[in-house]
Every structure is written in structure tokens, then in C-alpha cells.
Amino acid sequence: MRHRPFRQVDVFSGASYRGNPLAVVLEGGGLDAEQMQEFARWTNLSETTFLLPPDSPEADYRVRIFTPLTELAFAGHPTLGSCHAWLAAGGTPRDPDHVVQESAQGLVRVRRDAGLLHFAAPDPVLEPVPEDLQAEVSQALDLPESALIGACWIDNGARWMGLLLRDVETLRAARPQSAVLRALGVKAGMCALHPRRDGEEPVLEVRGITLTQQGTAEDPATGSLNAGLAGWLSRESVLDTPYVAHQGTGIGRAGRLFLTRDAEDRLWVGGAVRDGVAGTVLL
């Protein structure tokens, strides 16, 4: 064991301690997957990351992402939080315009703009959800029969069931039943559009219900989910970028995610990242 540089950062909120926390071990070399998983289980955060030298000559660093239960190929708030921690620790990108992160999902570009970090979202795999499973999940969320407008499996390295609800009030009133969702193996990504006035940017309200060791938990701000929802809602002509996603409202957080597309129609997911804890960890 040795002392390794460590940071805990707050992702996707303009106000300190109102976003999604992430633990980052900046020198993960020499740790095996079992040790990483054990530490992630101990932090008990939605994700913990370990930074390593890259395997790809195009990447600036490599990241491994763990929940308390398993390793993920990709996740959004760990991407931005890890990039922030790497830059804060003195990392210098090969390309001054972009940081290139290597993960099990592949290479992900991160750009800095107006005090925010934005990641180029991987294209999601979108699959239909059988109607009987839609009904089971609706019941597990305590939703009325008329609440659900559409559903879709979304997978961009993290697999979610995207659920479009009729209005924000219905979304906020949903009451997840942990045992049922866990038995179904479903992470539920609910969303609904806020009423829009002329000239205002669209706002999407989002709730992400994740699976945990104890049952389920509500995620304060989820980059992978919001990236997948943007791809799905665009395909269905429900919502196009640019727009802002609000998440974590019901659990006292203020997640803010900014969804945009560039001239090449590439989706970017952005937000603020702030330091919370800096020091060393014995691993």
C-alpha cells in the first residue's frame, strides 16, 4: 500500500455540493480490478475512478470506472470529473483544444469552454422495450397508466431504460419500488419536458433511478443517461439540442447539464466541475 493522490469532485452543478460527487484516484497503477472494486465499494459513491497511463498513443490518460457493484465501460460524470482532477493535478493535454480520455468504451474527447467541461457523447444503441415490460416498470415506479408516452433501451456503455412521461408533475410524483426494479434489473431514466415559452431554451427534467447494493438510489446528475436521452428524443423528433437538463431536484440537488451539437452533428454533454476534497488515499 502507498499514499496516492486523491480528489473528490462535484460534477454537473454551478453551486458547490449540489451536483454528483465522484472519487478519483489519480495514480491507479499497480492496483488490480479486485482492489479497485473494493475501494469503490468502500467510498459508496455512484462511481469511483482510477487514472492510469494510456494504452492508445492518442489518449492523454486512461480511466477505469467502478460503481460499488461493478465496472463500467463508460459514464458521463466520471468522464468530466476525472478530466477535471487530471487537469487540476497538472495534466497537460497533447492537443490544447481537447483532452482525450481512454476508457473501455474507446476514446472520448473533452473540451473546455467558458468554465465548463463538455464530453463528446458516444453514439447510443437504442432498442425497443416490450410493452409488457413497460407496464411492469410503470407499476414499479407507481405511475398512472396514462403517464408513459414512450420507452426505449439506451446503451452507451451504461444501460438505462429511458422513459418519457407526460409532464413534470407526474415525473416528480413517481415513487420507485426498489425490490421490483431490482428484480427486473432495470435502471430507470425518467424524463419530461417543462412547459416552454417563446424564445426560451427547452428544459428537460430528468430522474435517474440506479441499482445499488441495498436496492435503488436516485442519481443527482447523470451524463450517460442524459446523453442517451438526447439521442433517443432527437430520433423521435421530441426534442432537439440545444437544451438544458435539470436533475436531482427531488433529492435536494441542482444538477445542470447542457446538451449541444457541433457542426458535424456530434452531441456534447457539458457542465461545471468543482473541487470538494483533495489529499491522498492509502491504497
Q: Collapsing DSSP states into helix, strand and coil, what is residue 141?
A: coil
CA distance 58 to 156: 21
**Residue in 27, 47, 102, 205 annotated catalytic:** 47
Contacts of 54 (CB under 8 A, 6+ apart): 60, 61, 62, 102
- The model's confidence at residue 191, banded by pLDDT at 50, 70 and 90, is very high
Residue 24, judged by CB atoms within 10 A of its CB (0-12, 13-18, 19+), counts as buried
Q: What is the mean pLDDT of residues 249-266?
A: 96
**How many other CB atoms are there within 10 angstroms of residue 179's CB atom?**
10
Is pLDDT of 213 > 80?
no
Amino acid, single-letter form, for residue 54 = P
CA distance 86 to 82: 6
Closest CA to 68 of 178, 211, 183, 189: 211
Question: Is residue 47 annotated as a catalytic residue, yes or no?
Answer: yes
This prediction's pTM: 0.94
Closest CA to 122 of 154, 165, 95: 154
**Half-sphere exposure of 98 toward its Cβ, with a 13 Å CA cutoff?**
13
What separation in angstroms does the CA of 179 have from each of 88, 131, 141, 148, 214? 40, 21, 11, 21, 9
Residue-range domains of the chain with CATH:
3-120+270-282 (3.10.310.10), 125-265 (3.10.310.10)
pLDDT per residue over 33-91, tens digit each? 999 999 999 999 999 999 999 999 999 999 999 999 999 999 999 999 999 999 999 99
Q: What is the mean pLDDT of residues 188-213?
A: 92
pLDDT per residue over 118-142, tens digit each? 999 989 999 999 999 999 999 999 9
